[in-house]
Amino acid sequence: MNPSAEQDHQIRKATIKFGSKNKRQPENYGFVFEDPNEFIKGQCVDDEPYQEKSMAKSAHKKRLLADRKTLPIYSYRDSLLKAVEDHQVLVIVGETGSGKTTQIPQYLHEAGYTKRGMIGCTQPRRVATMSIAARVSQEMGVKLGHEVGYSIRFEDCTSDKTVLKYMTNGMLLREILSEPDLASYSVVMVDEAHERTLSTDILFGLVKHIARFRPDLKLLISSATLDAEKFSDYFDSAWIFKIPGRQFPVEINYAKAPEADYLDAAVVTTLQIHVTQPPGDGSKIAELIICPIYANLPTELQAKIFVPTPVGARKVVLATNIAETSLTIDGIKYVIDPGYVKLKSYNTRTGTESLRVTPISKASAKQRAEIQRTNLANVVLNLKSLGIRDLLDFDFVDRRPTKALLKALELLYALGALNKHGELTRVGRKMAEFPLDPMLSKMIVASDKYQCSDEIISIAAMLSTGSSIFYGPKDKRVHADNAHLNFHMGNVGDHVALLKVYNSWKETSFSTQWCYENYIQVRSMKRARDIRDQLKGLLERVEIELTSNSGNLEAIKKAIASGYFPNSAKLQMYGSYRSVKHPQTVYIHPSSGLAQVLPR
């Protein structure tokens, strides 16, 4: 399958520039690399004025302009602008490769819509948000963070000059908290709406309401063909504008019967193709180059998938569903989809979340509504902050998730965020200011009482990095395990162990070498530091004083328990535990520092 022009623009021209090809990596230390998105941050606005450079840059800009004109959407520019002018709400059907994500905001800017406010475009994934913004800033010839910027959780690359703003769905939700009428925007575009994340489902109801009392606001919903009619009906019979996108014929073949072992079947099929079918982008069948790709893969290993395949070899890319929409790789001719996906699943009975490998049918592949299988506590807290009292009457696209909503309300009441009437409390208002899970934000708010907010925001930051803090290369596993055990001395628990890691790193002036010596992920620690800085700023916003109580572990543990008491469990006779709230047998995870320790 050939890549689409649009995604090729977004990723090949941006993401491939990660890092330095000649950069030396420290020897004998596996999987300790720089942040995969440092190249984008490097382009972000600084204090120096942006300057046009060299004739080479001018030639590059001309080449980008020529590329823009090759996109399918280009011939529809005038008719699209006319449709936006004539209709307040527009459902845009644009397949992958049409150019809608990068071009529509630029067309609207060129047409003068940014004179009345910003143009906001939401994305379901943070990696795509950053790389798309980087691409559009290149096409417009501006510094990223000036006229074109992006906003993701714990990272804002915008300025007073920003007129085109790309952001994750969740960030627009948070902006609505502080600006309920989105007065700063003239156009809001909800892109990749067919992916139906939790945030988009809530956004639909909010922007639909905002558009009704703001007739000057233009609302664009970008969707796959299958969902266009549904979205049109939801938005009061909105006009549908179609843009062709698929530029190359695609032949789809299905297995004749279910496979007993989908992993084995995928490997066999890969080898069959390698031996019997024409090569993808090599001319001879010989060496097989295996390249993995997933969100937390270190930079240098990510870059390998973009390196041209040597003549006479074939490249096999092993990818998670990040490859569905977030990146495009040159020269891909065959795609093998085992038909399974790892989904986050929330059990409303037990109140626990887990990742499960789930088979997908054709129907579920077309639409997997995340709102039906996710903990809604954070969303409910945000909606309550907006003054929406009766959530059961909220305008959901599909049937309302009544059971999950009631469970979320119950949890928020237990945390003290809501009173018995379902109204937001003073504690709840403070919790809503933090872009975190409610249990984590309650832990931070409670730290004020126990005079340990300095330690608690460090723990919260370490828990919010989204990737592993520790690592252990196979050839040095014993050394790594011993290094990690030092942080668990005294059976202090995993939370306090993370605090020890952060404080030890801070004492070395945030030394990279210290991370190598202790088998700690450098990029995870840098992200934790950035998150902590933002949490520190939010403490001031909710009037919580930054206080340290490092010598009182009991106070720190009480603050943690204030947020996570719903997860408490009792030790049983044979070493297992029984959860208190929803009686269920549970175990301490083997990776925990307390896995081999019995409580006193």
**For residues 547 and 317, what is the distance between their CA atoms, to the nearest angstrom?**
49
- Work out the burial of residue 16: count CB atoms within 10 Å of its CB; fewer than 13 is exposed, 13-18 middle, 19 or more buried: middle
Kindly tell me if the per-residue pLDDT of 9 is higher than 50.
no
Beta pairing, strands 340-347 & 352-359: antiparallel
**For residues 533 and 556, what is the distance between their CA atoms, to the nearest angstrom?**
19
The type of residue at 596 is: Q
Same fold, 35-243 and 262-340: yes
Q: Where are the domains of the chain?
A: 35-243, 262-340, 355-429, 433-566, 568-600
pLDDT at position 32 is: 37
Kindly tell me if the per-residue pLDDT of 45 is higher than 90.
no
**For residues 343 and 354, what is the distance between their CA atoms, to the nearest angstrom?**
8
How many percent of the chain have pLDDT more than 70?
Answer: 80
Kindly tell me if the per-residue pLDDT of 400 is higher than 90.
no
Cβ–Cβ under 8 Å, residues 544 and 448 = yes
| Average confidence (pLDDT) over 6-21 | 38
Name the pTM for this structure. Answer: 0.74
pLDDT at position 8 is: 44
How many percent of the chain have pLDDT more than 90?
Answer: 44
Number of Cβ within a 10 Å radius of residue 479: 15
Kindly tell me if the per-residue pLDDT of 489 is higher than 80.
yes
pLDDT at position 54 is: 59
* Positive or negative: CA dihedral 562, 388, 212, 117: negative
Q: What tokens appear for 261 in the block?
A: 């072992």
Contact residues for 228 (Cβ-Cβ < 8 A; gap 6+):
91, 93, 240, 242
Instruction: List, for residues 319-333, the tens digit of each pLDDT value.
Output: 877 666 555 566 788
**For residues 528 and 505, what is the distance between their CA atoms, to the nearest angstrom?**
11
pLDDT at position 44 is: 61
Cβ–Cβ under 8 Å, residues 43 and 14 = no
Q: What is the CATH number of domain 35-243?
A: 3.40.50.300
Instruction: Provide the b/e sequence for 557-583 (b: ≥16 CB within 10 Å).
Output: bebbebbbebeebeeeeeeebebebee
Q: Which CATH number fits domain 262-340: 3.40.50.150, 1.10.10.10, 3.40.190.10, 3.40.50.300?
A: 3.40.50.300
Kindly tell me if the per-residue pLDDT of 231 is higher than 50.
yes
Helix (H) or strand (E) holding 239: strand 239-243
Number of Cβ within a 10 Å radius of residue 430: 21
Instruction: List, for residues 236-253, the tens digit of each pLDDT value.
Output: 999 999 987 655 667 888
Contact residues for 444 (Cβ-Cβ < 8 A; gap 6+):
434, 436, 453, 456, 457, 460, 535, 539, 544, 563
